[in-house]
């Protein structure tokens, strides 16, 4: 009988922890988008200041307006066209926005393919390749195959990767999803105690540990 109550208690903790991940995991995406906009913005800022009516910036704004109005198909086409022939930072952002637009339309497979193309694209800055890999993992973290997710997370964990801590957080979330509570607890504990990890990530790790409860 005691074993039954223990199993129920573990299930409750697992559900509570996963609810926390779903609540705060979206902030990972928000933070990533902020990095893209900030970095790509610096790439194209001088061009934009020199000629605010430049053709590429105008095309980007037009595509963004289409997406805002809900004309997703046209927005995807416009972003893809801009990404194909842009020579400034707008082309980089357009690639990510095309993936975002596909996801907004419910085309998860299309969004995933778009991120994979960015991640493997020649001439792409490694920081953006890593971001695309991270976004792909975020799309799959709830229901993707374990082996596929482990393969996708692995490059994020490399020494020197700017996305290493995000990869560690996702690795911990995957352990939790798979029912490896001991492994998830250890991974989140390591994150919570790592002074070099971002403050928000340490805070989320502590909340996950609190949701797990005492061993």
Q: What is the CATH number of the domain that holds 103?
A: 1.25.40
Domain housing 68 = 13-212
Neighbours of 185 (CB within 10 A): 20
Identify the pLDDT of residue 32.
57
Q: Would you write out the chain's pLDDT as a tens digit for each of its 215 residues?
A: 444 334 434 554 555 555 555 555 555 555 555 555 555 555 555 555 455 446 788 888 899 899 889 899 999 999 999 888 877 677 888 999 999 999 988 999 999 999 999 999 888 889 999 999 999 999 999 999 999 999 999 999 999 999 999 999 999 999 999 999 999 999 999 999 999 999 999 999 999 999 887 55
Q: Tell whether 2 is covered by a domain.
A: no
Please state, in angstroms and as integers, the Cα–Cα distance from residue 86 to each residue in 80, 82, 204, following that order: 10, 5, 38
Within a domain: 134: yes
Residue 205 lies in a domain: yes
* Inside any domain, residue 6: no
Domain count, the chain: 1
In a domain, 176, yes or no: yes
Q: What is the pTM (predicted TM-score) of this model?
A: 0.75
The C-alpha atoms of residue 91 and residue 81 are separated, in whole angstroms, by 9
**Is 3 inside a domain boundary?**
no
155 assigned to some structural domain: yes
Residue 1, in any domain of the structure: no
């Amino acid at each position: 009988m005691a074993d039954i109550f223990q199993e129920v208690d573990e299930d409750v903790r697992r559900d509570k922890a996963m609810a926390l991940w779903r609540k705060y995991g979206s902030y990972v995406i928000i933070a990533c988008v902020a990095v893209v906009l900030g970095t790509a913005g610096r790439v194209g800022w001088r061009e934009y200041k020199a000629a605010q009516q430049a053709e590429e910036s105008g095309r980007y704004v037009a595509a963004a307006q289409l997406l805002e109005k809900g004309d997703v198909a046209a927005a995807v086409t416009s972003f893809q066209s801009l990404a194909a022939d842009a020579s400034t930072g707008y082309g980089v952002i357009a690639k990510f926005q095309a993936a975002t637009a596909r996801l907004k339309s419910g085309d998860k497979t299309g969004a995933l393919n778009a991120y994979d193309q960015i991640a493997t694209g020649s001439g792409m800055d490694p920081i953006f390749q890593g971001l695309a890999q991270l976004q792909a993992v975020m799309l799959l973290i709830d229901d993707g195959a374990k082996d596929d997710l482990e393969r996708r997370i692995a490059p994020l964990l490399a020494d020197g990767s700017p996305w290493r801590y995000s990869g560690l957080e996702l690795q911990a979330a995957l352990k939790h999803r798979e029912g490896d509570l001991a492994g998830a607890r250890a991974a989140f504990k390591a994150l919570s105690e790592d002074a070099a990890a971002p403050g928000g990530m340490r805070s989320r790790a502590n909340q996950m540990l609190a949701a797990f409860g005492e061993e």
